[in-house]
Amino acid sequence: MTLVAPENPAHLRDAQTLPPLSKSRRQVLQRQIWRAAVGGVNSELRPAAKLGLQPVVSRAIDAFLTCNGSSSLASTQVRALVEGVGRDLALLGGSPQDIDAAFAAARAAVDRGLPLAVAGDLAGPGYARLRRNLADYLTSLHKHIREAYLRMRRTLDLTDEERMRALTAALFRDGSDRNLPNLLAAAGLDPNARLVPVVAVSAPLPSTLLVETEVIAAAGPYEALVPAAWSDADLCRQLGGTQVVVAPPTAAGQVAEGAALARRGAAVLRDGTTEDERQIVPCADLAGSLLVGAHPLLTELVIDKRLGVLADTGPRRRVQLGEFLLAWLQHGVPIARLATIVNVKASTAHSRMQVIREIFGDELEDPMARIELIVGLHAALPRWRIVDQNPRLQKNL
């Protein structure tokens, strides 16, 4: 076994030094391939193919040149783009024969146009190698488009109920599902549309919200995706009295991670790890609790590192200072304003802040230390409160 990388990886073995291709020659070759491919599909598809294939052919040629003729590397770069062609063709009612005919015509156009494109700048073994690489490139693109077409076709052959069940599972639970773009396309949804994951804390979401035409409901009544264009006021009107956690707006094709984050946020409110009386609670405001739950061992290290200086402080005093420090870090407002928020006298607030500055010093101005203090306090304060309220535990310290 060797840890040394191969000197000639696959994407470099088929690369070669290509002669410069002028803009005019590239455009001529692009037009030849594009017109040939459009002519290869059936007449009903040609208007759409004219519009859809032109930028794809241009990008494919540019990728091949940028990758120095490496068919493997270039096909990887444009794979998502050409898979969209296969998906669109299935939606338009095309057939595998349309794909095969378009590529046969494109290959013929390459054979005719390549000698003029290089115009004697490449000959002999170099030219033969270029032709082989181009043939491999077209074969790879052909395969990607055909496979994407067949996946889309299988998606369209599902019943409406099966498609919706698969779509909600992919959106809410499995963002890595390769069929998600097909499911979105079949539902007429833009994969780049911005959606906000909404997860109920206790009571289910109102049925009136779940049946809204702009809303995508999960399999159960506790989760939904709403348009990012909705304001908090819009969402409140739909929620009735239900409390929810919302994740940041995310593209529809990548929304599963946001839904998982909102789900965890709802859980920390539900189990009492943290409290928030607002009806709509952003995930960002629960970041400390979410980080604590995600990395228990790391959290313990942070507590020891940043809050160990409070170990010898009395239980009641430790809770008071910890709660005040956390509020100060999270709210970022003047001490007088913070006193109102935490419901203490202004003089008490100033006194506590003075003690905190004496204990923590420059750490309060260090951005990383501040983040670690927030995470550590979210984890430590619930324990400190238990000790403060239980004299028997205090005796064992």
Distance (Å, rounded) from C-alpha 129 to C-alpha 133? 6
Distance (Å, rounded) from C-alpha 97 to C-alpha 106? 14
String of DSSP letters for 313-343: S-HHHHHHHHHHHHHHHHH---HHHHHHHHT
String of DSSP letters for 139-171: HHHHHHHHHHHHHHHHHHTS-HHHHHHHHHHHH
Taking the domains of the chain in order of start, what are their residue ranges?
10-156, 167-291, 296-395
- Residue 295: name the closest of 367, 386, 371 by CA: 371
Q: Is 293 helix (H, G, I), strand (E, B) or coil?
A: helix
**What pLDDT sits at residue 3?**
42
**What pLDDT sits at residue 121?**
63
**What pLDDT sits at residue 18?**
63
Question: Maximum Cα–Cα distance for the chain, whole Å?
Answer: 92
- Residue 87: name the closest of 127, 146, 128, 40 by CA: 146
Distance (Å, rounded) from C-alpha 226 to C-alpha 209? 9
**What pLDDT sits at residue 293?**
65
Going by the DSSP 8-state scheme, the letter that residue 283 receives in this structure is G
Q: What is the CATH number of domain 296-395?
A: 1.10.10
Query: Could you tell me the two tokens for 297?
Result: 């061992």
**What pLDDT sits at residue 14?**
57
Distance (Å, rounded) from C-alpha 79 to C-alpha 54? 16
Distance from the first to the final alpha carbon of the chain: 53
Strand partners, 196: 226
**What pLDDT sits at residue 119?**
62
Tell me the pLDDT tens digit for each residue of 184-225: 999 989 989 999 999 999 999 999 999 999 999 998 999 999
- Residue 202: name the closest of 227, 217, 226, 221 by CA: 221
Compute the Cα dihedral for 257, 258, 260, 264 and give only its sign: positive
**What pLDDT sits at residue 357?**
95
Query: Could you tell me the two tokens for 196?
Result: 């906000």
Distance (Å, rounded) from C-alpha 274 to C-alpha 269? 6
**What pLDDT sits at residue 331?**
85
Instruction: Please compute the mean of the pLDDT values over residues 6-23 and round it to a whole number.
Output: 57
Q: What is the CATH number of domain 10-156?
A: 1.10.490
Fold agreement between 10-156 and 296-395: no
Tell me the pLDDT tens digit for each residue of 89-108: 999 999 999 999 999 999 99
Instruction: Please compute the mean of the pLDDT values over residues 337-362 and round it to a whole number.
Output: 93
Choice among 71-80, 110-119, 142-151, 287-296 with the minimum mean pLDDT: 287-296
Kindly tell me if the per-residue pLDDT of 178 is higher than 90. Answer: no
Tell me the pLDDT tens digit for each residue of 288-344: 777 776 677 878 888 899 999 998 899 999 999 999 999 999 888 899 999 999 999
Instruction: Please compute the mean of the pLDDT values over residues 237-247 and round it to a whole number.
Output: 94
The better pLDDT of the pair 23, 111 is held by 111
Write the burial class of residue 16 (CB in 10 Å: 0-12 exposed, 13-18 middle, 19+ buried).
middle
Name, of 6-10, 226-230, 250-254, 255-259, the range with top average pLDDT: 226-230
Kindly tell me if the per-residue pLDDT of 4 is higher than 50. Answer: no
- CB neighbours of 260 closer than 8 A, spacing ≥ 6? none
Q: Is 225 helix (H, G, I), strand (E, B) or coil?
A: strand
Query: Could you tell me the two tokens for 140?
Result: 């790879």
Average pLDDT of every residue of the chain: 87
pTM for the predicted model, two decimal places? 0.66
pLDDT band at 8 (very low <50, low <70, confident <90, very high): very low
**What pLDDT sits at residue 142?**
96
**What pLDDT sits at residue 42?**
86
